[in-house]
Amino acid sequence: MGAVTEASLEVSGLAFAYPDGHQALFGVDFRIERGERVALLGPNGAGKTTLVLHLNGILGGGTGSVRVAGLPVDRANMAVVRRKVGIVFQDPDDQLFMPTVREDVAFGPAAAGLKGAELEARVERALEQVGMAAFTDRPPHHLSFGQRRRVAVATVLAMEPEILVLDEPSSNLDPASRRELADILRSLDVTVLMVTHDLPYALELCPRALVLSEGVIAADGHTGALLSDEALMRAHRLELPFGFDPRSVATGA
């Protein structure tokens, strides 16, 4: 028998309450295999942000466990885990702060000790992956919003993560930028967890979806099947755009 491949992400019994007593997670369980693209759906207040902040140890101290590529997310593994879990925030300007695109993308790997030709190759590869290799010397604030989001993705890819976590990746993008980002995400050889309210985008990009509602996983299955379940959608305050029929959309892995 061959070696068993560890899941990219395994969350078991994760429960968490904030110091003010607000309980955000009540026992979350799911597993994401290497190379999967999974959408995390749910109404506002469901606990999605709280869950994401546990994936690389920004939040902790609750009960249950999170494992990334087989490693427990705990103090002993924190540096490794934070390289393995790349979070792309909703606002790219939260991630871009250097004078040029190259310096922004180089920042993480350089801080991790990479330098010289190896660092340059890492930066070049990350920018090529997002179609921004021609913009290395541009100041990020001279780029369009869609271009800045792609550079923000590159800053995370430069760390060669195990799992790419995207927070509302399609927000504020025009249709062309939205499609360009979708093409990029489909081309990446990385596990993707996409937190989104954009249900058609989830259907287009993620064969599988999790519905987080009131701090638990309320559903886990094929994205098209979940979005076609009117009772499930209504129960968890998920609404498709007017006239959008998920059964009419051909989706690919």
Whether 250 maps to a domain, the answer reads: no
Residue 244 lies in a domain: no
Q: What's the average pLDDT block by block, 10 residues per block, for the chain (253 residues)?
A: 74 96 95 97 92 93 94 93 94 94 97 95 97 97 96 97 96 95 95 96 96 96 96 94 80 52
pLDDT of residue 244: 85
Contact (CB, 8 A) for 109 and 159? yes
Question: Whole-model pTM above 0.85?
Answer: yes
- Which domain, by its residues, includes 188? 9-239
Asked if residue 200 is part of any domain, the answer here is yes
Residue 128 lies in a domain: yes
Q: Do residues 68 and 84 lie in contact, with contact meaning Cβ atoms separated by under 8 Å? A: yes
Q: For residue 246, is it within any domain? A: no
**pLDDT at residue number 248:** 76
Specify if 88 maps to a domain.
Answer: yes
What is the total count of domains within the chain? 1
- CATH code for position 98: 3.40.50.300
In a domain, 253, yes or no: no
